[in-house]
Amino acid sequence: MSRIRHHRFIQSCLVISTLLITLTGCQVESEPKTKLEQIRERGILRVSTLNNQLSYYIGSNGPTGLDYDLAKAFAEKLEVKLEITPAYTYSGLFPALERNEVDIIAANMTITPERLQKFRPGPVYYYVSQQVVYKKGSWRPRNIKNLTQLDENLTIVKDSSFEGTLIKLKEKYPNLDWNTAADTDVSELLKKVATGEIHYTLADSVELSLTQRIHPDLAVAFEVTEDQPVAWFLQQTEDDSLQALLIEFFGELKESGKLALLEEKYFGHVESFDYVDTRAFIRALESKLPKWEPLFKKYAGDFDWRFLAALSYQESHWNPLAKSPTGVRGMMMLTLPTAQSVGVQNRLNPEQSIRGGAEYLRRIVKRVPDSITEHEKIWFALASYNIGFGHMMDARRLTQRLGGDPDSWTDVKDNLPLLRQQRYYRYLRYGFARGDEAQNYVENIRRYYQSIIGYEQEQANKLKQEELTVEDLQVIDAPLSSAEASVGQAIETKK
């Protein structure tokens, strides 16, 4: 081969190589990015959820809720910001996912055959059952056949999983009828059952338990389904990158015990329900709490004032002159030595008592070991408030001996009643204690606290509805421009 031909051959090879590199580069650039890559490139995880006391709401310290906490942790794993778009009804959730306006629906929703046809579920993180709910004092249906024989109406949320359940039941019970309500949610229908506006509705077991803290007249007629899995939902595509990371994320949470901690935080206290006590508490919310609310807010400090109020109700039922045979006195039921240690001169003075009780609790929280998760320290502190710090530490030691986690409130609270039994307390440093009372004490306060939150939310919603005029409603019904819609979404995100 001559030098000229050899030179031309090399030039041709270089041209072809450059062309191939260019073409390959174009192919790489033209390949569509995975869902996970899109989120990371955007720097934002977009999550839609329901605005309620389980999934997401604005608390005294900002956004909170089970699904919010989980979504926040997942965004941190992705190293992106979290953008929450709250919805108020089920009907507002899935259309946004279909339009690719959000990446995930995280709203304590059950996996149903209808949803599986269009959407992809994430890992299951807890279970609920569907229940027929009625008002105490009215006639209680015992089964589906009873419902078919009634003139009273059964009303459910439109486009909810309950609708699919009833459609299937109608195949076996042709006379089964129901009404569907759009632009509402389960909590609103439960409230209507409690007030007698409707006779029956369907709700999941967890949501009913939470709502009973505000409306104790609600009761379970019977269960319609077995336990059903609850999960997040994604778009139904061939791209499984986001789902794969979700599986890894929930797997890590379960293995580390963090998922159990979150579930304990949000509904570990709803297992038992005392109808008489809850009714009395709701009456006290309306008649007594407004008088003492300013003092709880004044001395709460880093605590949520509603939490301090719940503690005070457990102690004295908000009676400033409360006394017990054991020598404790006042709104926070302080012993004389405790009162003296926090500078309280008159235990029957409500302001002094609330200030002293808050300070005493604050000191106990500081003593709780740092190995305990921050949001669970308060439960251990409350147990100490009731039976003493030494007995609480004994319960932790006993839990460890029995193979449990001494830093987990779930494990320790189950072992607190053992402090009464001689075969256990004889080997403990501080001996006998009424641990079962401490267990009930803490769980009662948690229930009262949740009731105050739910009651406040309900009152706020009621006030907003009353403030709406006809003109306001006409404006709300008017379609938003794209600019107005984006501003509205930004405001909700900041909330």
| CATH number of 286's domain | 1.10.530.10
Which residues make Cβ contacts (< 8 Å) with residue 66, sequence separation at least 6?
A: 54, 55, 108, 262, 263, 265, 266, 267
In sequence order, which ranges of 121-160 are alpha helices (DSSP H)?
144-148
Q: Do 371 and 355 lie in a common domain? A: yes
Q: CA-to-CA distance for 268 and 66, rounded, in angstroms? A: 12
How many angstroms separate the CA atoms of 58 and 457, rounded?
A: 10
Domain contains 472: no
Residues 101 and 7 in one domain: no
Query: How far is it, in rounded angstroms, from Cα 384 to Cα 369?
Result: 13
Tokens 């379960």, located at residue: 254
Domain co-membership, 182 together with 258: no
pLDDT of residue 375: 85
Cβ atoms < 10 Å from Cβ of 227:
13
Q: Are residues 430 and 306 in the same domain?
A: yes
- The two three-digit tokens of residue 143, written as one number: 């089964």
The rounded radius of gyration (Å) of the Cα atoms in the chain is 28
In a domain, 23, yes or no: yes
- What is the domain extent for residue 16? 3-31
Q: Which two tokens stand for residue 315?
A: 């102690």
Q: Minimal CA–CA distance to 234: which of 46, 31, 42?
A: 46
**Tally of structural domains, the chain:** 4
CA 410, CA 397: separation in Å to the nearest integer? 14
Is 173 in contact with 145 (CB distance < 8 Å)?
A: yes
Residue 143 lies inside a defined structural domain of this protein: yes
The predicted structure's pLDDT at residue 466? 65
Q: Which of 225, 258, 286 is the last residue of a domain?
A: 225
Query: What counts of helices (H) and strands (E) characterise the chain?
Result: 23, 13
Q: Write out the catalytic residue numbers.
A: 315
- Asked, for residue 468, whether it belongs to a domain, the answer is no
pLDDT digits (tens), the chain, 495 positions: 444 444 454 455 444 444 444 444 444 455 788 999 999 999 999 999 988 878 888 766 678 889 999 999 999 999 999 999 988 777 778 889 999 999 999 998 999 888 999 999 999 998 889 999 999 989 999 999 888 887 778 999 888 889 889 999 999 999 899 999 887 888 889 989 998 999 999 999 888 888 887 888 899 999 998 888 999 999 998 888 999 999 999 999 988 888 888 887 787 766 666 777 888 888 899 899 999 999 999 999 989 999 999 999 999 999 999 988 777 899 999 988 899 999 999 999 999 999 999 999 999 999 999 999 888 999 999 999 988 899 999 999 999 999 999 999 989 999 999 998 888 988 899 888 889 889 989 988 998 998 898 888 788 777 766 665 444 544 444 444 333 333 333 333 333
